[in-house]
């Protein structure tokens, strides 16, 4: 069934208390995704400072980044509300469940984006503000509006939006973007496809029902598992670049090898087993992997300076 054929007016509006309304608007920002984005911002700031940046600058950067990402996610919810109604995983979100009016969600997202730009400009610097806005626009216009419904490469190209936080963090400290920041960008860029494709394998029926050409739907699960293994190998290779670039020391290198070895092992296991449980194991580990890898960058700076 075509998603656009479903009348949005048929959604039953559910009366809400102030607390329930606030929680519904908070859910529009997809806070779990926002937290993951922020995890990659602070290590970039530590590396750029070659030590610990001021707590005030860290707080201002994280607040601006969180508000901006939350605004982009709210606008994403507005644009994708027709698709979200068709998928079991997303049909309870605030818009398809009728907890928030679509127009209110759009205004909320635009307001957050504007607030983020002003906050970053005033409290951080103009470059980081423009990078924050660029990430928002790329996620909303390039990924959500253009790529998501048109190509199985949606998450590959669209992943650039989620890879922006290290650039923003680096710019917040140096008012510039240098080579190590682009390596951090590349790490997240190559991490995103295997992470998300594991989820797509699990919910391929949902994506098929909504007509979204995610890789498992467009090219099958076998091709998806092969791509997951390929991108996992590329990911580990990219993580090692920080060492020869002299942006990280041996503490990080050891961590990258150990964590990356586990990532590739789980991807190879998924390739061999082709089971939902194998996909779920890699999906769960991929989140832990990213947090530990970026945490190792901070530890490396603390121990080795």
CATH number at residue 256: 1.20.120
Is residue 13 predicted with pLDDT exceeding 80?
Answer: no
Are the beta carbons of 67 and 75 closer than 8 angstroms? no
Q: What percent of the chain has pLDDT over 90?
A: 87
pLDDT value of position 14: 59
CA neighbor of 140 nearest in space, from 49, 53, 70: 70
Residue span of the structural domain in which 40 resides: 18-176
Whether 193 and 114 share a structural domain: no
Mean pLDDT of 104-115: 98
Q: CA-to-CA distance for 15 and 38, rounded, in angstroms? A: 33
For residue 301, give the 3-state DSSP assignment: helix
Q: Check residue 5 and give its pLDDT.
A: 42
Q: What is the rounded distance in angstroms from the CA atom of residue 302 to the CA atom of residue 305?
A: 6
Is residue 153 included in any domain, yes or no? yes
Residue 271 has pLDDT above 90, yes or no: yes
In the structure encoding, which two tokens stand for residue 299, read together?
A: 């530890």
- The separation between the first and the last C-alpha atoms of the chain, rounded to the nearest angstrom, is 57
Cα 112 from chain centroid (whole Å) = 18
Counted domains in the chain: 2
Instruction: Report which of 72, 87, 98 is spatially closest to residue 20, judged by C-alpha positions.
Output: 98
Residues 116 and 229 in one domain: no
Residue 208 pLDDT > 80? yes
Instruction: Flag whether pLDDT at 105 surpasses 60.
Output: yes
Q: 131, 149, 176: which is the final residue of a domain?
A: 176
Claim to verify: residue 142 and residue 185 sit in the same structural domain: no
Lowest mean pLDDT among 5-19, 156-170, 229-243: 5-19
229 shares a domain with 117: no
pLDDT above 50 for 111? yes
């Amino acid at each position: 069934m075509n998603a656009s054929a479903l009348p949005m007016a048929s959604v039953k509006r559910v009366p809400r208390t102030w607390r329930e309304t606030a929680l519904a608007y908070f859910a529009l920002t997809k806070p779990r995704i926002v937290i993951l984005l922020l995890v990659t911002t602070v290590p970039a700031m530590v590396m750029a400072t070659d030590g610990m940046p001021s707590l005030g600058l860290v707080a201002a950067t994280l607040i601006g980044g969180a508000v901006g990402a939350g605004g982009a996610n709210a606008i994403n919810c507005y644009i994708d509300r027709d698709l979200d109604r068709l998928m079991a995983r997303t049909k309870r979100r605030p818009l398809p469940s009728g907890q928030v009016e679509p127009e209110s969600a759009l205004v909320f997202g635009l307001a957050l984006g504007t607030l983020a730009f002003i906050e970053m400009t005033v409290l951080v610097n103009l470059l980081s503000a423009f990078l924050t806005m660029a990430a928002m626009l790329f996620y909303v216009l390039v990924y959500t509006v253009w790529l998501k419904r048109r190509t199985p490469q949606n998450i590959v190209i669209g992943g650039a939006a989620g890879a922006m936080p290290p650039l923003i963090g680096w710019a917040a400290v140096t008012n510039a973007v240098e080579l190590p920041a682009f390596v951090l960008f590349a790490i997240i860029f190559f991490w995103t496809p295997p992470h998300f494709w594991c989820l797509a394998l699990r919910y391929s029926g949902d994506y098929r029902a909504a007509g979204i050409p995610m890789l498992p739907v467009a090219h099958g699960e076998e091709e998806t598992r092969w791509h997951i293994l390929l991108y996992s190998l590329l990911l580990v290779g990219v993580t090692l670049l920080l060492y020869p670039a002299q942006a990280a020391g041996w503490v990080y290198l050891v961590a990258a090898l150990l964590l990356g070895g586990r990532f590739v092992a789980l991807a190879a296991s998924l390739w061999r087993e082709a089971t939902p449980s194998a996909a779920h194991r890699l999906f769960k580990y991929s989140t832990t992997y990213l947090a530990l890898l970026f945490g190792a960058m901070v530890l490396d700076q603390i121990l080795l300076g």
